[in-house]
Amino acid sequence: MLVQADGTTTHVLVPVEEYEQLITLQAVSAAAATLDDPSTRFVDVEDAALRIAADRIARARRARGWTQAELGRRLGLPQSQISRLERHPDRTTIRTLKRVAKALDVDARTLVD
């Protein structure tokens, strides 16, 4: 059904089911265009999760007003290792991540979820 004002179609009324199908098709088309775009950068999901963990560690540390050296002192680790942890957590053990979470008083799952 078309809705017109001043001889110009302004709206189209369609059943909800048909509208939802159109929205789904639009989303699929947009996703396909993104996948086909040569400038789209893909990131390994595990790498992305580690980068998120590194960011969360750094934010939790800064939220406490601690420097990397302070967190390192509390963990008995050199500042350079804290820096490396915040840049490349893929070279870190789960045990260390748990120790860091405990020192920062955060649930370890919040660092890696």
The pTM is what? Answer: 0.59
Return the top range by mean pLDDT from 38-47, 54-63, 83-92. Answer: 54-63
pLDDT computed for residue 63 by the predictor: 94
- Is 99:85 a contact under the CB 8 Å cutoff? no
**Total number of domains in the chain:** 2
Cβ count near 61 (within 10 Å)? 20
Same domain, 52 and 106: yes
What is the per-residue pLDDT across 93-110, written as a single tens digit (0 to 9) for each?
Answer: 888 888 999 999 998 888
Look at residue 83 and tell me whether its pLDDT is greater than 80.
yes
Q: Domain residues for 89?
A: 45-112
Same domain, 106 and 63: yes
pLDDT computed for residue 46 by the predictor: 76
